[in-house]
Amino acid sequence: MATGRAPPNPASARAPRVWWPRDARLALTVPGEQIPEGVEVHVKLDTGMGRWGLSELAAGARAVAGVMTHLATADSDLDFARLQLERFRAATDSLPQLTRHAANSAATLRLPESHFDAVRCGIALYGISPFGGDPAGDGLEPVLSWTTELAQVKLLRAGESTGYGRRFVAEHDTWIGILPVGYADGLRRSLTGTSVLVAGEPRPVVGTISMDAAAVELDRAHPAGTTVTIVGNGLTLEAHAEVAGTIAYELACGIDSSPTRAHRIAQ
């Protein structure tokens, strides 16, 4: 059965070399009471996330280099985030020798009192807003980009359709560009109706997005190989997330950067 995806590389099937934290001089996050021997750890306290973490730090724990917590509402409810910070301070003020950290991207940007000794920025490192709005509003500059190209261009006559279910039927003669990406690559089915840039111009994604193909309505014929920007050049992941009814985090995590399907461009 042909899938249109690259065959597996036999070399990649070899067992990868295992790098133990102590070999790489890394510290581990520990969310429970068991602390591994010979490895520095940062112990996680649960101050209100209700997920991973201890209710209190055990006295005399060995090899503990830091203590941390995770804020549940730094992007939506600052009052509860501040309550978590109060609990965290109360639990850790007697431990000045330990590195303390609590701030995720949202708290780093909006709650300076959460910074302590370090911050843990995630999505903000890509210039994506943790609040779902305009990244520039928080001084962020988007750096994530995702481009592809027109793999095929065809003219649909009035009444003809493209894609599964005939969700897009041409009302008049319409040029269509086919992109060689789909939901297997992170271009979700719910992104039908979003815009991409074809040769720098915004054009709508139409029809049903399939596993490894999507259709774009064009205003004129373009040559195959024309660059299509899915993210970047002013087109934000936040705008796609609004169309898909989700958050930019989920879309960013869904982009397939497998070396058989994508390559990185050094800046």
> Which class does domain 19-121 fall in?
alpha beta
- Using a pLDDT cut of 90, give the percent of the chain over it: 73
DSSP state of 185: G
Eight-class DSSP state of 232: B
Domain boundaries, the chain: 19-121, 146-254
CATH class of 146-254: mainly beta
Per-residue tokens: 27: 């510290």
Alpha-carbon distances of 153 from 137, 177, 216, rounded to whole Å:
38, 4, 9
What is the tens place of the pLDDT at every residue in 9-25? Answer: 544 455 555 556 667 77
Task: Give kind and range of the element (H or E) at residue 78.
Answer: helix 78-92
Tens of pLDDT, residues 61-88: 567 899 999 999 999 999 999 999 999 9
pTM: 0.80
